[in-house]
Amino acid sequence: MIVAVFPGQGSQTSGFLAPWLELDGVRARLERYSEASGIDLIAAGTEWDAEQIRDTRVAQPLIVAASLVSWHALVDSGAPLSGGVAGHSVGEIAALVAAGVLTDDEGMRLVGIRGAAMAEAAGIVETGMSAVIGGDEQNVLTTLERFDLTAANHNGGGQIVAAGTLDALQALAAEPPASTRVIPLKVAGAFHTSFMEPAIAALADAAALIEPQDPALTLWTNHDGSVVTDGDEALRLLVGQVASPVRWDLNMASFADAGVTGIIELAPAGTLVGLAKRSLRGVPSVAVKTPDDVAAATELLTGASE
C-alpha cells in the first residue's frame, strides 16, 4: 500500500506555486479555490513574500490549495490510487478531500474559515511553537510541563513540537532538555493547544453545513493514528483537531502496522518525507514539490500495483 500524505503549516515557501501554474487548468482551479477560501491564492503563491504567507489566514488555504493541485495532477497522470491518505494538521483537510469525504470547494471554504478563526484565536495571547529535536522523549515531555508548554505535535523521528506563550518558549530555548535542539517555527500561534479553543465554534458552525461522504480510500486520523471509516466522524475529528495534539507519530506507527510500502508527500512537500525517512526506514518515498516530481510518484504507484 502506498500512502499519500499532505503537509501542514510551515511547509510553504515564497513563490512555490509558480511551477504549478504552468499546467493546463491549474489557474482556473486556483481561481475557484481563491473564491471559496477568500484568499488570492495565485498572488500569495507566486508574488507574496515569506512574511505575508506566514499569516495563518493565508498559509492554511495556500498549503491546502497546493496539496490539492498536486493531488489532481497525480490523479490525472493515470496512476493507480488504491492506497490510503493522511494529513498533518491542516493537511487533514486535503486528505479528507482526496478521500472523497469533502468536495474541493467544501475543503477550501473550510480551510479559509479555519485559518481566519485560528488567526483570531492566536491574536488573543502572544503564543508560538518550537520544534524540540532529539533527546529522551520522557525528559522532553517533563521539561515542557515544567515550562507550562504543551506537546502540540508528536511528529516521531525524535521530534516534538512545543507550544505556548513566547516567554515560556524563550525559557525552553534558554534551558533545553539534554541532547536536544530547540528550533522556533514560523507559525503565528500555539496551534493544537487550549489557546485555539476559541476557533472551534466557527469551524463547527461551518462543518454543520456540510454533508460529508464516507472515505473512498483508507483515511488515517491525527487524533490517534487510527483509520476512520465514517465521514461524519472524520469531520468531527477535524474540527476538534485545532485544539488537540497532532499525533503524527501514531500515524506513522499505523502505516508500519498496515505494511505501507511507499510514501508520497504532496506539495508543498519535504517535511513529512523527512520524518518518514527517520521513522519508516527503508520505505521508499517521493516528495512532490513541483510538477516534475509527479512522474516519480506515478512510477512508485505503478510499481506497487504490479
Q: Within this chain, do residues 169 and 262 fall inside the same structural domain, yes or no?
A: no
Residue 302 domain-assigned (yes or no): no
* Residue range 225-242, pLDDT digits in tens: 999 999 999 999 999 999
* Residue range 177-187, pLDDT digits in tens: 999 999 999 88
Residue 32 domain-assigned (yes or no): yes
Closest to 62 (Cα-Cα) out of 101, 98, 18? 18
CA distances from 89 to 63, 220, 245 (A): 11, 12, 9
Cα end-to-end distance, the chain, whole Å: 12
Q: Within this chain, do residues 214 and 255 fall inside the same structural domain, yes or no?
A: yes
Q: Within this chain, do residues 105 and 222 fall inside the same structural domain, yes or no?
A: yes
DSSP assignment string, 224-235? TS-B---HHHHH
Q: Within this chain, do residues 234 and 248 fall inside the same structural domain, yes or no?
A: yes
Alpha-carbon span 81 to 94, nearest angstrom? 15
Residue 252 domain-assigned (yes or no): yes
- Rounded to an integer, the average pLDDT of 145-172 is 97
Percent of the chain residues past pLDDT 70, beyond the cut:
99
Cβ-contact 213, 185 below 8 angstroms: no
Q: Within this chain, do residues 95 and 12 fall inside the same structural domain, yes or no?
A: yes
Q: Within this chain, do residues 214 and 274 fall inside the same structural domain, yes or no?
A: yes
* Residue range 245-257, pLDDT digits in tens: 999 999 999 999 9
Name the grid cell of 291. 510538477
Residue 248 domain-assigned (yes or no): yes
Name the grid cell of 16. 512555490
Q: Within this chain, do residues 93 and 15 fall inside the same structural domain, yes or no?
A: yes
pLDDT at 82 over 80: no
How many domains are contained in the chain? Answer: 2
Residue 305's pLDDT band, with cuts at 50, 70 and 90, is low
pTM of the model as a whole: 0.96
* Residue range 127-138, pLDDT digits in tens: 999 999 999 999
Alpha-carbon span 26 to 35, nearest angstrom? 14
Per-position b or e across 1-35, b if 16+ CB within 10 A of its CB: ebbbbbbbbbbbebebbebbeebeebeebbeebbe
Cβ-contact 270, 88 below 8 angstroms: no
What's the pLDDT score for residue 81? Answer: 85
What's the pLDDT score for residue 306? Answer: 55
Q: Within this chain, do residues 38 and 175 fall inside the same structural domain, yes or no?
A: no
Domain closes at, from 143, 165, 184: 184
Strand 218-219 and strand 84-87: pairing? parallel
Q: Within this chain, do residues 197 and 174 fall inside the same structural domain, yes or no?
A: no
* Residue range 84-123, pLDDT digits in tens: 999 999 999 999 999 999 999 999 999 999 999 999 999 9
Count Cβ atoms below 10 Å from residue 67 Cβ, excluding itself.
Answer: 31
Alpha-carbon span 39 to 25, nearest angstrom? 19
Domain range for residue 165? 127-184
Give the catalytic positions in this structure. 89, 192
CA distances from 152 to 45, 107, 196, 254 (A): 27, 23, 11, 19
- Rounded to an integer, the average pLDDT of 286-290 is 98
- Rounded to an integer, the average pLDDT of 17-38 is 98
